[in-house]
Chains A and B, each alone.
Chain A
Amino acid sequence: GAGVSQTPSNKVTEKGKYVELRCDPISGHTALYWYRQSLGQGPEFLIYFQGTGAADDSGLPNDRFFAVRPEGSVSTLKIQRTERGDSAVYLCASSLQGTFYGYTFGSGTRLTVV
């Protein structure tokens, strides 16, 4: 597509529930990144995919967070047993072959855990 698309734009869930957040990168971009942005902070890295594999998942905060990219395009970030502290905006970015030039962000998913 023309840009990075993230769905849903907003998600409200109850504490303890499971959520999935979707990212559709720019067509042809092999690198995909997830970031989390808490209120008043800059985005913080979660995970990086090159193709189908997670090349760097060092930013995932704990084992409740997991992400997949089975066909090397769309990615899903999965959060189990959500906690109120997971409330944030989750941003996805893509780039061509892992370069940082032309790095493009989606509009994000605002997750609220109540």
Chain B
Amino acid sequence: GIQVEQSPPDLILQEGANSTLRCNFSDSVNNLQWFHQNPWGQLINLFYIPSGTKQNGRLSATTVATERYSLLYISSSQTTDSGVYFCAVVGGNKLVFGAGTILRVKS
């Protein structure tokens, strides 16, 4: 089945810093999503981005489907950005998730 790899596995930032999270996937996809899991466990969809670039406030994402990767950019990080960021792609009837990037933003 399709494989999803995320890097880095964890990241510590000072508040205000920028970061880039990466997601590599093993096969062609027509659907890729980024999620944020907050410290209470809730998974929130950030972007539905099968290709191209999207921006939402301080967050933006780019997917290059032909090269099988996606990037999530976080600018001017805030402590509320802490949590786990997951990339997920559609594999058949389900989403296949990577192992996530744990982000800690320190004040």
Contacts and interface: CB of A to CB of B under 8 A. Distances in A.
26 contacts: A33-B94, A41-B99, A41-B100, A42-B86, A42-B97, A42-B100, A43-B86, A43-B97, A44-B97, A45-B94, A45-B95, A45-B96, A56-B92, A56-B93, A56-B94, A98-B93, A100-B31, A100-B48, A100-B90, A102-B45, A103-B95, A104-B45, A105-B42, A107-B40, A107-B42, A108-B42
A19 to B, nearest CB: 18
What is the interface of chain B mostly: helix, strand, loop, or mixed?
Answer: strand
B74 interface: no
Interface in A27-78: 33, 35, 40-45, 48, 55-56, 59
Given A42-B86, A91-B43, 19 more contacts: A33-B95, A35-B95, A41-B99, A43-B43, A43-B86, A43-B95, A45-B96, A48-B93, A55-B93, A98-B93, A100-B31, A100-B33, A100-B90, A103-B45, A104-B45, A107-B40, A107-B41, A108-B41, A108-B42
Contact of A48 (B94, B98, B99, B100): B94
Nearest to B84: A42
A48 B94 CA distance: 8
Contacts of B31: 100
B88 interface: yes
Interface of A: 33, 35, 40-45, 48, 55-56, 59, 89, 91, 98, 100-105, 107-108, 110
B58 to A, nearest CB: 22
Contact of B99 (A40, A55, A100, A102): A40
A103 B95 CA distance: 10
Nearest to A104: B45
Contacts of B92: 56
B98 A42 contact: yes
